[in-house]
Structure 1
Amino acid sequence: MTTTHSVPEASDPPPGGDLEARSAAMHDDPRFLELRSRLVRFVLPASIGFLAWYVLYVLMSAYARDVMSTKVVGSANVALFFGLLQFVTTFGIAILYSRYANRRFDPLADELREELEAGPGVPGARKGEDA
């Protein structure tokens, strides 16, 4: 049994309307702007905080060798614990981001994606609403 697939003609409109035009229009949607704002409110402080912590580690390693070489437990010194805390901080931020995204980004992003993929409709209408 052979199946044939029809290839759309170049003049046929894409299914669901012009995705590129709808994507561009989505950038002006207040819900999309809120989503971007939520992202920036998490990513910017987390990035600045982590980079400051990392720069502190590098600067202390370069210029405060006496402090960094202070023994804490056995032969483990402050520098070793600072280095290990870099890993802990990285994983901690990743976990916090995942939880924040699940709670604050994903529901709104899913709604916007469904609307975008559904095709032309009532812009800004939420599920179950007519205009």
Structure 2
Amino acid sequence: MTTTHSVPEAGGTPEGDLPARSAAMHEDPRFRELRARLLRFVIPAGAAFLAWYLLYVLMSAYARGVMATEVVGSANVALLFGLLQFVTTFGIAVLYSRHARRRVDPLADELREELEGGAAVPAARKGDQA
């Protein structure tokens, strides 16, 4: 898909009027797709983590007997749930990083380069020395 979309430049300068071009970018179908890609990850992951965290809090408040059950040595269910909160947080961060690198960043880079008026730089080449 190599369609060229242009954001109208205002002011006649090469930089154009950035606020006006930014506002126009919001109408671009690629920008809407970018937001949709982001939200398709963030909303389910956020809801799942919030539900998991609330389960931990509610069980700590109302199921003390279950949470006090020793699993290994003196480590109980509450301690394991608490540690799993950290594991879940890091897991979501890794998954989001992978999702962003594959599905969000390439389109965001394309839109940013177009908005700033610069030549597109392939994502794999960013930061390389010439």
- TM-score band, normalised by shorter chain: 0.7 to 0.9
Partner residue in 1 for 2:39: 40
Matched residue type, 1:77: N
Per-residue deviation, 1:111: 0.3
Deviation at 1:31? 0.2
C-alpha displacement of 1:13? 6.4
In structure 1, what is the Cα distance between the partners aligned to 2:51 and 2:13? 48
By relative contact order (CA 8 Å, sep 6+), the higher-ranking structure is 1
How do 1:22-101 residues align onto structure 2 when only pairs under 5 Å count?
22-101=21-100
**TM-score where L is the length of structure 2:** 0.80
Superposition TM-score, scaled by structure 1 size: 0.80
Equivalent position amino acid for 2:54 in 1: V
Query: Once the 2 structures are TM-superposed, how far is the Cα of residue 16 of structure 1 from its aligned partner?
Result: 1.6
> How much identity, in percent, do the aligned residues show?
77
Match of 1:17 in 2: 16
Partner SS state of residue 49, structure 2? helix
Q: Partner residue of 2:116?
A: 117
Residue 3 (structure 1) aligns with: none
**What SS does structure 2 have at the residue aligned with 1:72?**
strand
Gaps of 5+ in 1: 1-11, 120-125
Q: Which has the larger radius of gyration?
A: 1
Q: How many residues align?
A: 110
Note the residue ranges of structure 2 that are not aligned, 5 or more in a row. Answer: 1-10, 122-130
Supply the distance in 1 between the matched residues of 2:116 and 2:78 (Cα, whole angstroms). Answer: 51
Any runs of at least 4 consecutive aligned residues in structure 1 with deviations exceeding 2 A, and if so which? 12-15
RMSD: 1.9
SS in structure 2 at match of 1:17: coil
Q: Distance in 2 between matches of 1:56 and 1:14?
A: 56
Distance 1:30 1:15 in 2: 24
